[in-house]
Amino acid sequence: MKDAIVLSHISKRFELTGTAPTIKKLILSAGRVKRQYTEALKDINITVKNGESVSIVGTNGSGKSTLLRIICGVYKPTQGSIKTCGRLYTMLDLGSGFHPDLTGMENIYFNGAVLGLSKAEIEERLDNIVAFCGLGNYINEPVRTYSAGMLMRLGFAIATETAPDILLIDEVLAVGDAAFQEKCYARMAAIKAAGTSTIVFVTHDMHAATGFADRTVWIREGMVYMDGGSREVVNKYLQELDASPENLPEFRIRENKS
């Protein structure tokens, strides 16, 4: 099985806000301004195979989102190298990838073109995208008028119908209602079963991690603390949080009848 994502010795350092030298600081300090940095990621080594589904867990500020942004190229690593193989679609921030003044329908064409699809290929998928997101007449309204849930619906429908080789999702499903979340996980399960896309998703939903992901990576203080079978990793993670991993309810996806 080929590799979809290879992260080798990835580290990411950010300069702390307020420590960058201003002209005033340089004058007052005679040019001796000490910059301060924070290490967001430290020597990350992860390989994800084609068709694999991987969840990433960890507390807020542990570096999970930074890791996804490095994979998709939003951030450049301070050290290390990254390789991805195939067409990549990201759902990192609600509204990212959408032009606010274009309608939902126009943004479907816009996103499809960005992904390299022809107009004919987009139109072939158009009815399914519109039906899945369930926005009704709002599909012809500018996306700047959309709620967070509506943006998530449209983004997820585009992402999964355009069949990217790699799909990155950063917790955006959490803004949807329970019924649509279940619909999304059912769609992801179908993609996983078909083996057509590699899925990497950040989640705080431990049921989704144990029930959907082939494996789970626990990021702790910017480092890979544990990488393995999802239930084993989640149980250890919950133990550290002083939660109760025993008898973790089984994650079930009901068949969608719509």
Residue 116 sits in a domain of what CATH number? 3.40.50.300
Neighbouring residues of 257: CB distance < 8 A, sequence distance ≥ 6: none
Does 249 fall in a domain?
A: no
In angstroms, the CA 109 to CA 136 distance is 17
Element (H, E) at 151: helix 148-161
Phi and psi (nearest 5°) for 149?
-65, -35
Reading the chain (258 residues) residue by residue, the pLDDT tens digits are: 799 999 999 999 998 765 555 665 555 555 555 677 899 999 999 999 999 999 999 999 999 999 999 999 999 999 999 999 998 988 887 777 899 999 999 999 999 998 888 999 999 999 999 999 999 999 999 999 999 899 999 999 998 898 889 999 988 777 778 888 888 888 888 888 888 899 999 998 888 898 889 999 999 999 999 999 999 999 999 988 876 555 444 444 444 443
Q: Is residue 227 part of a domain?
A: yes
The predicted pLDDT at position 181 comes to 84
Residue 130 forms part of a structural domain: yes
Mean pLDDT of all residues in the chain? 86
Kindly report the pTM of this predicted structure: 0.81
Residue 254 lies in a domain: no
Asked if residue 109 belongs to a domain, the reply is: yes
d(CA 43, CA 21): 28
- Residue 58 domain-assigned? yes
Phi, psi torsion values for 177, nearest 5 degrees: -70, 165
Q: Is residue 245 part of a domain?
A: no
Please give the residue range of the domain that contains residue 219.
3-240
Total domains in the fold of the chain = 1
Residue 12 lies in a domain: yes
The secondary structure element, H or E, covering residue 41 is strand 37-49
